[in-house]
Structure 1
Amino acid sequence: MSSLPVNINYGSPASFRSALESYRRSRYLMANFIEERQRDSPPSHRSDPEACINPVDLEDALSDGAHTPSSSRSSSSEDGMMDNLRWDEDVIITPTQNLDSYQWNAPAVAPTEPLALGIPQERTPLIRKANSLSIPRTKKGYGSIEDKKKSKIRTKPPPKIRPLEPTQKVQEIAPVTHRPAGRSTFGQTLFNAIATLLGIGMLSEPLAFSYAGWGCGTLLLISYAWVTCRTAKILARFITTDPAIRTYADIGRKAFGKKSMPFISTLFCLELFTVTVALVTLYGDSLETIAPAYPSNVYKILGLIVLIPTVFLPLSWLSVASMLGIFSSILLIAVILIDGLSKKTAPGSIWDPQHTDFGIASFPKLGVSFGLFMAGFSGHVAVPGLARDMIDPTQFDQMIDTAYLIATTLYGVIGVAGYCMFGNGISEEFSQDLFSTPGYNELLNKIALYALIITPMTKFGLTSHPMNTILEHTLGLDPHTNHRTHGYEEQVRCQTSFKRVGSIIQRILMTFLAVAVSIALPEFSSMVGILGSLFSFLLCVIGPIGAKIAVEKSFTKMDILVLLIGVAMASWGTFSVWYTQ
C-alpha cells in the first residue's frame, strides 16, 4: 500500500520554490521554442515522439557496441544552471554518448533468449522490451507432452534480420524515447499563462479605447479575447494529440510542410525584433519622464551599456529577472486605480472623467486600435510549452479560459480607468500622464515608472534570445553544433572559436539595430500597432486556424468567418499604422 502524498501548503517555501521553478521552466521553453527544432531532426523523420536513432550512430554502435542512447544535454550547454533545475527536456534520449555516461533504470526481468540478428557476437544498442519471439529457457524432462509440443513450436528459430543499411530510414527501427511528463500544476500553469499575456500591450489599452470609442473598443476587446482563447486551445490540441509535436514551429511544419519553416522563422524573428524595439522605446520614454534633462534618444543610446550584457546572460538568470515584469504590471494596475480613486477632480480622476466618445475617432485610428488591442493577446508562441509542461493536460481548456478571463478583466480595468482619467488627450503611454498630472502621490508614481524602466532591461535578453539563436543557425554561427572530428581537433577548435566570435558580433549588432530603429520610429503606439496588426494576427489567429484546416482537411463556417475577418483586420490595421505616421 503506497503512502499518501505529502500536502504542501500554498504559503510554504516549498510551494513558492515550485511556482518559481515552473515559471522559469515556462520562460525557458518559450525562449527555446524553435532552437531545439533548429538543431534536431524534424518530426516528420521520426516514427516515435521526440527521439530517434541516427543511422550513422546506429551503424557505429552495431559495429563496435560503443554507443548507446543517452541524455541530450551536452556538457557544453550555455547555461550550466539549467541542469540543477532538471528541465523536462533533460530526459529526452538521443544517441550522443557512451553507455557508461548514462545509467538505465530498467526493471528486473527473467532471463530470456535474446533475439538473434544473424551476426556472430553482435550486440544491439537499442533498449527495448523483449520481442514476442523470445521465450524463457525450459529444462528438459519437465512439463507435459503438450507443453513440449508447444515449446517446439515456439522455439523455432526466428528469421534472420539483416543489418541496417546506411541508407535505410530511421523509421524502420524502433526508436528509444522517454516522453517527459509535465511538472506544473493547474495553478502554476495559470500563473505562467497570465504572466505571458500581461505584456507591453497593457500600456496601450487606454489609447486603444480613445481610438475606437467605448462601443467598438469594448466589442474588440471581448471578441479578440474569445478568438485568441479559441486558437490557443487549437494549438494545445495539437500538442496533446500528437506527442511528436513540441513547439509552435512543429505545428507549422506538420500543417504546411517543411518548406514553410523559413517563413515561420522569419516571422518569429520579425515579431521578436519588434518587441525588442518597443522595449527600448518604453525604457527611453519612461526615463525621459523621470529625468527630462536629456531626450529619450540619449537614454536609449546609454542603455546599450545595460542591454548588450543581457543578451549573453544564461536563460536561468533571465527567466528570474523577467519576473519583475509581472510585479511591475501588478504595481501599475494598483497605481492607476489608487491615483484615479484618490483624486476627486479632473484631470486624472475616475470620479470626474474627462471627455470621451462612444463612437470611433476616425477610420485610420480605428485600424490602429486593431493592433493595440490584439497586442495584449500575443502569447501563443508559449502555448505549446505551457501545454507540455502541465501535469494534467486535460485541464488546459479550463486553465486557459480562466487565464483569458483574468487578463481580459485587467485589460478592461486599465483601459476604462485610463480613458476616463485622461480622455481623448491620453498619451501613447499613459504612464507618462500619471507622472505629469499634479495631485498624485509622487513617490508611488515614481516607483511605478522605475519599474517600467527596469522591466524592458530584464525582458530584452529573454526576448532576443530565440531571435539570436535562429540567426546564428542560419548564418552557421551556432557554437554548439556537434562536430565529428576524426583527428582534426585543432581545426574544429578554430571553427568553434570563429563561431563564438561571430555569435558575439551578431548579438551586439542586433542590439544596436533595435536601438537604431527605436530612434528612427520613436512612437510606442506604432510599434505596438505593428506588433498586434501584423504579427499577432498571423501567429494567434490566422496561423492556428489555417493549421487546423490544413491538418483536418475540413472546416466550419466559424473557421472561415474568423479567418476572413482576421485577414481583413490584419491588412487594415497594418496599413493604418503606416498611414498615420
Structure 2
Amino acid sequence: MSDQYDNNFGTQEDKPPKSKSKSNLVQSIFNFCNVLIGVGILSLPLAFKYTGWIIGISLLFFCMGAANYTAGLLIKCLNYKEGIYTYPDIATIAFGNLGNFVTLVIFTLDLIGVAVSLVILIGDSLQLLFPDISLISLKIIAWVILMPLGFIDLKYLASFSCLGILTTIILAIIVIIDGFARDERPGSLFNPMKTELWPTDWNSLPFSFGLIIAGYSGHPTFPSIYLDMQTPNNFQKAINISYIFGTVIYLSLAVCGYLMFGNLTKPEITQNIVSTPDHLIFLNKFIVWAVAINPFTKIALILNPINLYLETQYQSSPCNLWTHLRNGCYIFIKFLSRTFVLTAVVFIAIKYPQFDRALELIGSFLFYAIAIIFPSMFYLKLYSNSLSWWEWLVNLLLILVCTVLAILGTIWAFLFY
C-alpha cells in the first residue's frame, strides 16, 4: 500500500498517526483465527442435526472455500487505488454513495451486533459464576475491562487473540473429553447416537445456513488486520492457515457433538453436556469460565474496523480534525471516539438484553452479504475490464447461490422465531 492519501482523504500530512510497530505473520494469524473461531462453534452440532452428514460437511467446505476466496478479493479491492482503508471505502469506490450507505449500514449492524451479543454473553456467563452481582453491574465491569483493550495496537492484541483461540480449543477439548468419558448414550463417543446421512426434516434445513457461515464471516475486520501486517504479501498465506485451522476445529466439534447426541442435540452442545446425567461436574465450571473469557478477547478486534472508519471520516470532515488537532489532541479525539463506540455497545447490551436474539433473525443475510456477496460484487465492478470469463462465472454463481441461502435462512429464522 502506498502511504499517500488520495483527494478523498487528504494529504499524507493530514493522515492520522499510525503505530510504528506492526504485526508479524504469526500475530496476524492469531488475530485472524480469533475473529473466525468463537463460541458460535458450539452450535455447529445443531447445524449437522439439521443437515445430516452429507449436506452438513459439503456446506461447511463450501462456506470455507467461498469465504477464503472472497477474502482475497476483498484485499485486491482494497489495493485498487490509493486511499482505500476500510470495507465501506471499497463500497464507495465500487458503487458510489448509495453503495457506501447500504454497505455501511450492514457493516455497522454486523459488527455492532456481534459485539453486543458478546457483551450479553459475558454478562450471562459471569452471572452464573457470580449470582449475587446484578447483570447490569457485571456488564459495567465488563465495560471497564474492555475499555483499555480498545487502545491496544493489533500487534499486541495478538496476545489476547491467542487467549481467545486457547479458550475456544479448550471448549472443544472439553466436549470431546466428555464424550470419551462416557460409556452410555447419549453423550458417548464410544457408543454414539444414531445419526443421518441426509436431513430427517427438510423443512429444518435452512436453519443451518446461518449457523455454518457465521464461522467464516470475519471479512469486515480483514482490511484493518491486513493494513497492520508487516508484510502484506503474506495475507493470503495467513488467511489460508487461519481458515484451515478454523475448519479443523469446526469439523471436529461438529462431528463429535453430533455423534454424541444425534437428534437430541440442543442449540449449544454445552447445554447437552451440563444437562446430561452423570456428566463430569468439574467440567461445568471450565465450560462457563471459557465461555465468559472468550468474548473479552474478541470485542476490541471486532470494533477496530468501526473505529478506523470513524477516524478516517474525522480526517475527511470539513474541519479536518487531523490537520488542526495534532499529537495530544489527536489522541484525545481518538479516546473520545473509541470510548463512545464501546459505551454504545455496552448500553445496547444493558438496555436490550434480547438484542442477540434479534440478530439471529437476520444473521444469515448479514453473514452471507458481508462475507461473500458484497466482496464478489465489488470485485466484478472494480475489475470488470480485466477479468476472465471463468472469474465472472465463479463470482456470479457465488452471488446467486449465497443470495438464495441468505434469503432462505432469513425467512426460516423469522418463521422459527
Shorter-chain TM range is 0.7 to 0.9
SS in 2 for 1:257: helix
Displacement of 1:377 after TM fit?
0.2
Given that 1:206 and 1:416 are in contact with CA atoms closer than 8 Å, whether structure 2 keeps it comes out as yes
Q: Which residues of structure 1 form unaligned runs of 5+?
A: 1-39, 54-68, 74-81, 89-182, 486-492
Displacement of 1:352 after TM fit?
1.4
Q: 1:359-378 alignment to 2 at 5 Å?
A: 359-378=198-217
In structure 2, what is the equivalent of residue 270 of structure 1?
109
Q: 1:109-508 alignment to 2 at 5 Å?
A: 184-185=24-25, 187-239=26-78, 242-287=81-126, 300-310=135-145, 312-313=147-148, 314-316=150-152, 319=157, 320-464=159-303, 466-467=305-306, 481-482=321-322, 508=343
Given residue 410 of structure 2, which amino acid in structure 1 is its aligned partner? T
SS in 2 for 1:263: helix
Given residue 184 of structure 1, which amino acid in structure 2 is its aligned partner? N
Which whole-Å deviations, capped at 9, do the CAs of 1:154-213 have from their partners, x for residues lacking one?
A: xxxxxxxxxxxxxxxxxxxxxxxxxxxxx523x443333222211232121111111222
Which whole-Å deviations, capped at 9, do the CAs of 1:216-267 have from their partners, x for residues lacking one?
A: 1111101111111111111222345645433323322221124432322222
> Cα–Cα, structure 1 residues 456 and 403, in superposed 2: closer, same or farther, change >3 Å?
closer
Given that 1:273 and 1:514 are in contact with CA atoms closer than 8 Å, whether structure 2 keeps it comes out as no
Displacement of 1:282 after TM fit?
2.8
Which whole-Å deviations, capped at 9, do the CAs of 1:339-390 have from their partners, x for residues lacking one?
A: 1122222221111122333322444532221000000001112323444444
Which of 1 and 2 has greater Rg? Answer: 1
Higher RCO (CA < 8 A, seq sep 6+): 2
Q: Which residues of structure 2 form unaligned runs of 5+?
A: none
SS in 2 for 1:245: coil
Given that 1:311 and 1:462 are in contact with CA atoms closer than 8 Å, whether structure 2 keeps it comes out as no
Distance across 2 between alignment mates of 1:455 and 1:480: 38
Given that 1:310 and 1:460 are in contact with CA atoms closer than 8 Å, whether structure 2 keeps it comes out as no
Greater alpha carbon shift after TM alignment, 390-399 vs 440-449: 390-399
Which whole-Å deviations, capped at 9, do the CAs of 1:105-135 have from their partners, x for residues lacking one?
A: xxxxxxxxxxxxxxxxxxxxxxxxxxxxxxx
> Cα–Cα, structure 1 residues 390 and 284, in superposed 2: closer, same or farther, change >3 Å?
closer
Distance across 2 between alignment mates of 1:401 and 1:355: 34
Displacement of 1:330 after TM fit?
1.5
1:550 maps onto 2:381 in alignment? yes
Displacement of 1:331 after TM fit?
1.0
SS in 2 for 1:316: coil
Displacement of 1:569 after TM fit?
0.9
Given that 1:427 and 1:433 are in contact with CA atoms closer than 8 Å, whether structure 2 keeps it comes out as yes
> Cα–Cα, structure 1 residues 505 and 72, in superposed 2: closer, same or farther, change >3 Å?
closer
In structure 1, what is the equivalent of residue 408 of structure 2?
572
Which whole-Å deviations, capped at 9, do the CAs of 1:23-75 have from their partners, x for residues lacking one?
A: xxxxxxxxxxxxxxxxx9974647xxxx726xxxxxxxxxxxxxxx48842xx
Given residue 61 of structure 2, which amino acid in structure 1 is its aligned partner? I
Given residue 580 of structure 1, which amino acid in structure 2 is its aligned partner? F
Greater alpha carbon shift after TM alignment, 341-350 vs 358-367: 358-367
> Cα–Cα, structure 1 residues 435 and 481, in superposed 2: closer, same or farther, change >3 Å?
farther
Distance across 2 between alignment mates of 1:202 and 1:269: 23
Given that 1:225 and 1:408 are in contact with CA atoms closer than 8 Å, whether structure 2 keeps it comes out as yes
1:534 maps onto 2:365 in alignment? yes
Greater alpha carbon shift after TM alignment, 536-545 vs 302-311: 302-311
Given residue 518 of structure 1, which amino acid in structure 2 is its aligned partner? P
Alignment: residue pair count: 400
Distance across 2 between alignment mates of 1:397 and 1:509: 34
Distance across 2 between alignment mates of 1:278 and 1:447: 21
SS in 2 for 1:356: coil
Distance across 1 between alignment mates of 2:337 and 2:68: 40
Distance across 2 between alignment mates of 1:243 and 1:472: 17
Displacement of 1:287 after TM fit?
4.6
Given residue 258 of structure 2, which amino acid in structure 1 is its aligned partner? Y
Given that 1:542 and 1:563 are in contact with CA atoms closer than 8 Å, whether structure 2 keeps it comes out as yes
Q: What RMSD, in angstroms, separates the aligned Cα atoms of the two structures?
A: 3.8
Distance across 2 between alignment mates of 1:541 and 1:71: 31
Given that 2:172 and 2:253 are in contact with CA atoms closer than 8 Å, whether structure 1 keeps it comes out as yes
In structure 2, what is the equivalent of residue 52 of structure 1?
11
Distance across 2 between alignment mates of 1:449 and 1:381: 28
Distance across 2 between alignment mates of 1:284 and 1:556: 46
| TM-score using structure 2 length | 0.81
Distance across 2 between alignment mates of 1:406 and 1:504: 33
SS in 1 for 2:362: helix
Distance across 1 between alignment mates of 2:77 and 2:334: 36
> Cα–Cα, structure 1 residues 244 and 480, in superposed 2: closer, same or farther, change >3 Å?
closer
SS in 2 for 1:352: coil
1 or 2, which has the higher helix percentage? 2
Given that 1:198 and 1:326 are in contact with CA atoms closer than 8 Å, whether structure 2 keeps it comes out as yes
Distance across 2 between alignment mates of 1:467 and 1:394: 24
> Cα–Cα, structure 1 residues 386 and 466, in superposed 2: closer, same or farther, change >3 Å?
closer
Greater alpha carbon shift after TM alignment, 227-236 vs 462-471: 462-471
> Cα–Cα, structure 1 residues 210 and 301, in superposed 2: closer, same or farther, change >3 Å?
farther
Given residue 325 of structure 1, which amino acid in structure 2 is its aligned partner? G
Given residue 206 of structure 1, which amino acid in structure 2 is its aligned partner? P
> Cα–Cα, structure 1 residues 509 and 282, in superposed 2: closer, same or farther, change >3 Å?
closer
Identity %, equivalent residues? 28
Distance across 2 between alignment mates of 1:71 and 1:321: 28
Distance across 2 between alignment mates of 1:344 and 1:545: 48
> Cα–Cα, structure 1 residues 403 and 331, in superposed 2: closer, same or farther, change >3 Å?
same
Given residue 52 of structure 1, which amino acid in structure 2 is its aligned partner? T
Given that 2:175 and 2:273 are in contact with CA atoms closer than 8 Å, whether structure 1 keeps it comes out as yes
Given that 2:126 and 2:138 are in contact with CA atoms closer than 8 Å, whether structure 1 keeps it comes out as no
Given that 2:29 and 2:241 are in contact with CA atoms closer than 8 Å, whether structure 1 keeps it comes out as yes
Given that 1:255 and 1:550 are in contact with CA atoms closer than 8 Å, whether structure 2 keeps it comes out as yes
Which whole-Å deviations, capped at 9, do the CAs of 1:460-514 have from their partners, x for residues lacking one?
A: 45534655776899999x99935759xxxxxxx9xx9999989867754542222
In structure 2, what is the equivalent of residue 27 of structure 1?
none
Distance across 2 between alignment mates of 1:272 and 1:45: 24
| TM-score using structure 1 length | 0.60
